[in-house]
Amino acid sequence: MVEYTRKIQDIAKRLLSEKKVDAVIGYRQGSVPMMNEPILVREADKIDQLYWDSFCGVNLANYLPKRKERLAIVAKGCDSRNIVVHLQEGQIKRDQIHIIGVPCRGMVDRRKVRAKLEGQEPLRVVETGDQIVVEGKDFKETFKKADLLQDNCAICIHRNPVLYDELVGELVTEQSGVDRYEDVRAVEDMDPEARWKYFEELVRPCIRCYACRNACPLCYCPTCFVDESKPQWMGKSLDPTDVRTFHFMRAFHCAGRCTDCGACERACPVGIKVRQFTKKLEKDILELYHFEAGIIPEGRPPLDVYRPDDPEKFIK
């Protein structure tokens, strides 16, 4: 992905030198392999730090709400959809942002790489075409990138940015014939007791660190319901009831807004598959309202519009 890196740097250089934007939000290489991190570049001497490969899973739209300056932002398909959600929710203005669109080929899951290494410590991880080359003290291994994709990326059908000012490369062919909700249906098919047990086990390791919430571009409220103490909406302990309440309420706050970008799941330090909550609601919104979040920039979310043929009587 060297060519994307060079293109992003070129665009950033041009936008900053022509004073079209005040800063560029992109990625730089992390201090450990497979952990690229966000960077906000204001000065020309930092442009060389901008970087791209398949470990840029952080959703940069998370850094837009309430910003006042003019910004350029690097955006994959899912990031661009979250930018659309921010525009629809009044978190940022369109003329404030210059979107550097990245046609995405999927992000690699560092946990899947580590599982393949069976305890060996990776010191250098390089992407070459469709392969991931991992080097450590006494080893060098090559894997197929397709086998290591994040779960959400493997089933992603919106890899091209939906909204952009310029692209860093040719648009990619979108995946088709993907069954996005096989796992959700498996849970729906359980009897209530088994389903209860499933979610109980799913969140049992949760330490309520809120990394999932903090990584999500949708969670921008000045005071989150979990932090509020007057009134206190829910307990702050690790009691299973409090933990479950947090997860269910967070998922409902994301209903009709989640783009399945996977940033929440990627951030969880104990590896909880938190998308099991949001995907169910994503499926319901699609089936009930034929709506996917952030796809149509000029559209409005389903719970934000009135339809004269609404089947609910209370609306008439």
- The answer to whether 99 contacts ligand SF4 (rule: CB under 6 A) is no
What residues from 156 to 175 belong to the interface with ligand SF4 (CB under 6 A)? Answer: 156, 159
- The answer to whether 109 contacts ligand SF4 (rule: CB under 6 A) is no
Residue 170 or residue 189: which is nearer to ligand SF4 going by CB? 170
Neighbours of 183 (CB within 10 A): 16
Q: Tell me the window of 34-42, 65-73, 89-97, 214-222 that interacts with ligand SF4 (CB under 6 A).
A: 214-222
Which of residues 278, 281, 291, 292 is near ligand SF4 by CB under 6 A?
278
Residue 47 or residue 294: which is nearer to ligand SF4 going by CB? 294
Alpha-carbon dihedral 5, 10, 15, 18, rounded to 10 degrees: 160
Which of residues 218, 255, 281, 285 is near ligand SF4 by CB under 6 A?
218
Which of residues 16, 34, 184, 258 is near ligand SF4 by CB under 6 A?
258
Rounded Cα distance, 102 and 200, in Å: 38
The answer to whether 292 and 258 are in contact (CB under 8 A) is: no
What residues from 116 to 135 belong to the interface with ligand SF4 (CB under 6 A)? Answer: none
List residues binding ligand SF4 (CB under 6 A).
59, 76-78, 104, 106-107, 152-153, 156, 159, 206-212, 215-216, 218, 254, 258-264, 267-270, 272, 274-275, 278
